[in-house]
């Protein structure tokens, strides 16, 4: 196949590049490197079947030649990033998604949208199933990402209904692994780097809010399996094992051997209190569920960060 991956120099996007290159496909990455990094794809630079376009997906309208699959993964994804780049985040979710859907229509390509568990907001339903409409503040600080992704889902469904574009929508829950940026603000790279430096671990609120953490290899396996099937409605991918932030901190302290204490900080506005995916649909349609446990995945991530600090 000839595969386009927007945001392909980012965390999850770069692992998708690895997968499709390693399974003998041609890959075109579109990434303006606003939060991605060329180091994530440097192993493919110069390969005949790989092309890197340092461009903003908002500006790209068409590409030469046939295209079979478009994976639209461009977007700032951590709160630190999308609060730093609010307009860019919304443009990527709106104009960028529209551009890639137009490209999919033009090329008769399959289109896979990277959506997010953030479409559920601060959920009033637990765990979160795909038919839950969410509890999102449309004018809060997180709205640029939450509502941007909700728009992206809506226009994706519309392109399928109006033009018959083959589409998938994956709602990605917290995912972690090597290649995460040290300063991106997400909890695992933050805790790991603080612990390795014996600095206090930053706990927002009382630390009793919950998250689920899916290791990146499991996420890539789910996304690539989804891209093979005909299913238009959103599908959750994530690890249903739920941890409080304090429990996560304790595991990080145990695995790093740090003596770090906790530094409690005010909870950001609209920060979700609970987050846990219902993955029944993924189990049924993809025969998918996570295989890598938190301690196993964190051990790999800690060693990766240890070599870089």
Name residues of the chain where pLDDT drops below 50: none
CA 87 to chain centroid, in Å, comes to 19
Q: Are 227 and 69 in contact (CB under 8 A)?
A: yes
Q: Is 215 a catalytic residue?
A: no
* Choice among 15, 20, 145, 215 that is catalytic: 145
pLDDT of res. 281: 98
CA pair distance 72, 300, nearest whole angstrom: 27
Instruction: Give me the domains of the chain, ranges plus CATH numbers.
Output: 2-175+213-237 (3.40.50.720), 180-211+241-275+291-306 (3.90.25.10)
pLDDT of res. 235: 98
Among 46, 78, 50, which residue's Cα sits nearest to residue 271?
Answer: 78
Angle 77-124-94 from CA coordinates, rounded to 5°:
35
pLDDT of res. 185: 85
Mean pLDDT across the chain: 96
- Please state the pTM of the whole predicted model: 0.96
Q: What is the pLDDT of residues 232-267, one digit of tens each?
A: 999 999 999 999 999 999 999 999 999 999 999 998
pLDDT of res. 61: 82
Question: In DSSP terms, which residues pair with 170 in a beta bridge?
Answer: 114, 235
DSSP character at residue 119: G
Question: In DSSP terms, which residues pair with 5 in a beta bridge?
Answer: 29, 71
């Amino acid at each position: 196949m000839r595969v386009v991956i927007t945001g392909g120099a980012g965390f999850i996007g770069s692992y998708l590049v690895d997968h499709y290159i390693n399974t003998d496909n041609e890959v075109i990455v579109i990434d303006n490197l606003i939060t991605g990094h060329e180091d994530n794809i440097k192993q493919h630079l110069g390969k005949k079947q790989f092309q890197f376009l340092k461009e903003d997906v908002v500006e790209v309208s068409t590409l030469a030649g046939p295209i079979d699959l478009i994976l639209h993964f461009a977007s700032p994804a951590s709160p630190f990033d999308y609060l730093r780049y609010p307009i860019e985040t919304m443009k990527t979710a709106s104009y960028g998604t529209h551009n890639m859907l137009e490209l999919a229509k033009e090329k008769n390509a399959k289109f896979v949208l990277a959506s997010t568990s953030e479409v559920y907001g601060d959920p009033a339903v637990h765990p979160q199933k795909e038919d839950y409409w969410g509890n999102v503040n449309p004018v809060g600080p997180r709205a640029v990402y939450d509502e941007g992704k909700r728009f992206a889902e809506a226009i994706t469904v519309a392109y399928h209904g109006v033009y018959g574009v083959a589409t998938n929508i994956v709602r990605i829950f917290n995912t972690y692994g090597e290649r995460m940026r040290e300063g991106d603000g997400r909890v695992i790279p933050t805790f790991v780097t603080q612990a390795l430096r014996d600095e206090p671990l930053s706990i927002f609120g009382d630390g009793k809010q919950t998250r689920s953490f899916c290791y990146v290899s499991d996420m890539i396996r789910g996304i690539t399996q989804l891209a093979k099937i005909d299913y238009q409605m959103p599908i959750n991918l994530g690890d249903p094992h739920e941890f409080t932030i304090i429990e996560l901190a304790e595991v990080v302290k145990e695995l790093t051997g740090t003596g770090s204490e906790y530094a409690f900080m005010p909870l950001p506005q609209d920060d979700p209190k609970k987050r846990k995916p219902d993955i029944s649909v993924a189990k049924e349609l993809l025969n998918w569920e996570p295989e890598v446990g938190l301690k196993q995945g964190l051990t790999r991530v800690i060693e990766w960060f240890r070599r870089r600090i």
